[in-house]
Structure 1
Amino acid sequence: MKGLLLRLSALDADAATAVRVIAHFEALLGGGLDPASLTRSTAGLAGCPAGLELPDGRSARSGPDGVALRGVPEHVSGRVGLEPAGGVWLERPGAPGPFDELVLEWMAITARVLAGRPWQSRVPQAADPALVELVLSGREEAPDRVRALRLLGLSPEVPLRVIAVAGRAGTDVGMEAVALLGRGGLRGTVRVARAGSLGAVLVQRPEGPVRAGDATGGSQHGGATGGESPDGSGSTACELRSALHERARERGAAHGAAQGIRVGVGGGADPLDARTSWAEARSALRFAVPGSPREAVVDHDELGPVALLADIPVERLSTQEDVRRLGRLARGERGERAGHGGELLAALAAFCRTGSLRQAAGELHLHHSSVAARLAHVEKELGWRLRDPQDRFRAQLALYALRLADGGDGFGGFGGLGGLGGG
């Protein structure tokens, strides 16, 4: 079992601890494994009984003392399903522990390996926040930044991207970032640290040196440095969206929409100009809202000229008439039932991005007639004809502006509104 690395209930929720949780399961993945050893190891790690049932019918339960348990669990404090059947769970008395969600996520990954699914190891490393701050600073001398990069295990000659991660209220953003990135979602060297209320992630890929013109992400392929293709396939944002999609799929759509993670991806940059990518990442984060992976992950490069909206003062955005009307609609000030304003804006945003009623309905997991009814309500209240490209463009700009004016947290609490994140 490679030993028990920690007792979760006694530790603070920080990125370094999250990495050790992931490393524990990676150690299990690297050795001989069976259902009994996985439940025994997980129970010892979490300090409470753990169990699993694989799709092929194999099952096991164990207590934290390593003794196998029989029968049906009396209290399941947390569970993650497996496809096409089965799941993994913890049986902690009372409320879940601070790391239970992360433990279950990685127990599920390990269980899928037992069920025959392949696994590729890419554990991010928790970095010294002081070194990351030095790399992202515009005040330090270049030799100091070069030294910090080397101490972080990064090369001063290879382009990097900086990612800003915002987590759910009341959670440790460093742990949220590591939990997301530890799914194998990113290629290359990944360093994670907390930067104030955000998680700061440095990603460096080994494909080629910095080219002229890359210092601010302005490569010949629209900022796709470090081996990313010009069409966006294999991009950092795509990999992050895949990781979020996998996480949401395991936990169900409702849980995925509620997990509250938002991600902004900066453009490729010369490592000595990482502050530019960091500024772009934080700007992109303002366009992100919790919800589907497409909405929750925003790439500054993909936004294009829309990113310029972030330069407009919030006070000016919030007083623009279209933005004010959308805000009133979202808040239900026109007599909508509770939550209906958010549903209306979600339908509007999905339709603006796809231009198709059926595609919007598919993204929202609704019948197209339900989406049509919501769009008709929006048209009636705001006087737009959404089949008209000009009105649809106007509506989409208003949605972007409302998102920025609302602070990036989801239109006054109406999270998951949009699909605007990809530009």
Structure 2
Amino acid sequence: MRGLVLRLAGLSAGAEGAMRLIGFFDTLVEQRLGLDGVLGMAARVAECPVGLAGPGATGLTARPDGRTRPGGPPAGAAVRELRDGQYAWLARAGAPQPFDTLLLERLALACDAVLSRRGGEAVPLDPALLETVISSTAPLPERARALRLLGFAPSVPLTLLAVDGGRGPQGLAPVLDRLAPASVSRSRTAALGSVHAVAVTGPLPERLLAPAGFRIGVGPEVTASEAPRSWEGAVRALRFAGTSRSDVGLAPVVEEPAIYHSSLGAFEVLARELSGPAIAGIGDLAVLDALAAEPGSGTELLTTLEVLVQADSLRAAARTLHLHHNSVAVRVARAEAALGYGLGETVGRFRLALALALRRLRDNPA
């Protein structure tokens, strides 16, 4: 691809140059790059800023070095309409170049093809590309090639998210909606078995809540060439993540936070070393399973215990659960009777927190 860009940079007016340019944009479409990938490559060829703007689209500007950022066109930019008020644009300082009109036309068609695949959001990719990028066993040249096809430079900061959920008609849209617009515009997604991989180059929220029906693990930020390390961290974090629910009767939606790899600390060794079978048979987990299976109130009781171990006090847990503190106290007392130890002291809460963590690891083997 880089060789093609260099050849295009020396285009001369004529049919051969026009065909090269048309073939270049056809290749971008065939390789299913996202909007930022298409715009970045087009800007490198044009050697001037290009972008996409208008209602219903994420305004993106690509600079001649191929980097993209949110933003619209400067005054006087040449534009080409797509649909629904959206348009591609090209802003060249000085006199227009011979192929500017053709380049803008082909850019508009390429952007239209991307938008038609998924309404302007992150474009689903061939899973093999992202799978190669995050594979620790893939040869470095293959990973570098996959990164280029995804539109990532090897040195760009990259964070991998492991997302369980998104198999309904909306896909990953509820998760992507909670990321910063700049992160979404530069994200890549792919379904890898039962889990989705989401590669993000933009900033992430300090605290990300999972929408109902989702679990999220967030890997460490690395350079794109080190993507396997971020993916491994995201998968380990995912094992500790709970599924957000909307049917527990405590609040309209009980949203679980995404688990960041950076927050695991010493708990990471549990995810790295303990498989589901290795955790089976622990007495505290059997008690928690029995409490969770109680008809009508088991799910609510387990949610109460999970909130309790993270809260400063029983009253703080009650506020989080939208319950009176006496109601929470009754549930805690029932749990204490079953567990055989108190939850008012540090040792009891730590034992409960460890049991809840192990239960998640057992139930989330991947």
TM over 0.5: yes
Tell me by how many angstroms 1:379 deviates.
0.9
Residue 327 of structure 1 corresponds to which residue in structure 2?
289
Superposed, 1:292-303 pairs within 5 Å as 295-303=256-264
SS at match of 1:161: strand
Could you say if the C-alpha distance between residues 274 and 186 of structure 1 is closer, same or farther in structure 2, counting changes exceeding 3 Å? farther
1:38-94, Cα deviation, whole Å (9 max, x unpaired): xxx9xxxxxxxxxxxxxxxxxxxxxxxxxxxxxxxxxxxxxxxxxxxxxxxxxxxxx
- Report how many aligned residue pairs link the two structures: 248
Tell me by how many angstroms 1:190 deviates.
1.0
Once residues 314 and 284 of structure 1 are traced to their aligned partners in structure 2, the CA distance between those partners, rounded to angstroms, is 15
- 1:28 corresponds, among 55, 62, 81, to 55
Tell me by how many angstroms 1:184 deviates.
4.6
State TM-score, norm by structure 2.
0.61
Larger Rg: 2
Once residues 290 and 214 of structure 2 are traced to their aligned partners in structure 1, the CA distance between those partners, rounded to angstroms, is 25
Once residues 346 and 356 of structure 1 are traced to their aligned partners in structure 2, the CA distance between those partners, rounded to angstroms, is 15
| Contact 2:180–2:204 (Cα < 8 Å) also in 1 | no
**Counterpart check, 1:369 vs 2:326:** yes
**Counterpart check, 1:180 vs 2:180:** no
Once residues 186 and 30 of structure 1 are traced to their aligned partners in structure 2, the CA distance between those partners, rounded to angstroms, is 11
Could you say if the C-alpha distance between residues 298 and 184 of structure 1 is closer, same or farther in structure 2, counting changes exceeding 3 Å? closer
Residue 157 of structure 2 corresponds to which residue in structure 1?
159
Superposed, 1:193-204 pairs within 5 Å as 193-204=190-201
Residue 239 of structure 2 corresponds to which residue in structure 1?
286
RMSD: 3.0
1:328-382, Cα deviation, whole Å (9 max, x unpaired): 22122xxxxx131221111111111113112111111111111111001111111
Tell me by how many angstroms 1:265 deviates.
0.8
Once residues 138 and 204 of structure 2 are traced to their aligned partners in structure 1, the CA distance between those partners, rounded to angstroms, is 30
- Aligned residue type for 2:348: D
Once residues 346 and 178 of structure 2 are traced to their aligned partners in structure 1, the CA distance between those partners, rounded to angstroms, is 40
**Counterpart check, 1:353 vs 2:307:** no
Once residues 185 and 346 of structure 1 are traced to their aligned partners in structure 2, the CA distance between those partners, rounded to angstroms, is 29
Residue 88 of structure 1 corresponds to which residue in structure 2?
none
- Aligned residue type for 2:55: L
Tell me by how many angstroms 1:186 deviates.
5.7
**Which runs of 5 or more residues in structure 2 are unaligned?**
1-31, 36-52, 59-83, 85-117, 245-252
SS at match of 2:351: helix
Could you say if the C-alpha distance between residues 138 and 344 of structure 1 is closer, same or farther in structure 2, counting changes exceeding 3 Å? same
Once residues 145 and 30 of structure 1 are traced to their aligned partners in structure 2, the CA distance between those partners, rounded to angstroms, is 30
- 2:218 corresponds, among 255, 258, 265, to 265
Could you say if the C-alpha distance between residues 316 and 371 of structure 1 is closer, same or farther in structure 2, counting changes exceeding 3 Å? same
- 2:335 corresponds, among 378, 385, 398, to 378
State TM-score, norm by structure 1.
0.53
Once residues 293 and 131 of structure 1 are traced to their aligned partners in structure 2, the CA distance between those partners, rounded to angstroms, is 35
Once residues 300 and 255 of structure 2 are traced to their aligned partners in structure 1, the CA distance between those partners, rounded to angstroms, is 17
Residue 124 of structure 2 corresponds to which residue in structure 1?
126
| Contact 2:275–2:361 (Cα < 8 Å) also in 1 | no
Could you say if the C-alpha distance between residues 276 and 293 of structure 1 is closer, same or farther in structure 2, counting changes exceeding 3 Å? farther
Tell me by how many angstroms 1:313 deviates.
2.6
**Counterpart check, 1:190 vs 2:143:** no
Comparing 274-283 with 285-294, greater Cα deviation is found at 285-294
SS at match of 1:346: helix
Residue 309 of structure 1 corresponds to which residue in structure 2?
270
Once residues 181 and 337 of structure 2 are traced to their aligned partners in structure 1, the CA distance between those partners, rounded to angstroms, is 44
Once residues 353 and 296 of structure 1 are traced to their aligned partners in structure 2, the CA distance between those partners, rounded to angstroms, is 12
Tell me by how many angstroms 1:270 deviates.
3.0
Superposed, 1:70-81 pairs within 5 Å as none
Could you say if the C-alpha distance between residues 158 and 276 of structure 1 is closer, same or farther in structure 2, counting changes exceeding 3 Å? same
Could you say if the C-alpha distance between residues 237 and 133 of structure 1 is closer, same or farther in structure 2, counting changes exceeding 3 Å? farther
Once residues 146 and 238 of structure 2 are traced to their aligned partners in structure 1, the CA distance between those partners, rounded to angstroms, is 25
Tell me by how many angstroms 1:293 deviates.
7.4
Could you say if the C-alpha distance between residues 236 and 184 of structure 1 is closer, same or farther in structure 2, counting changes exceeding 3 Å? closer
- Aligned residue type for 1:157: S
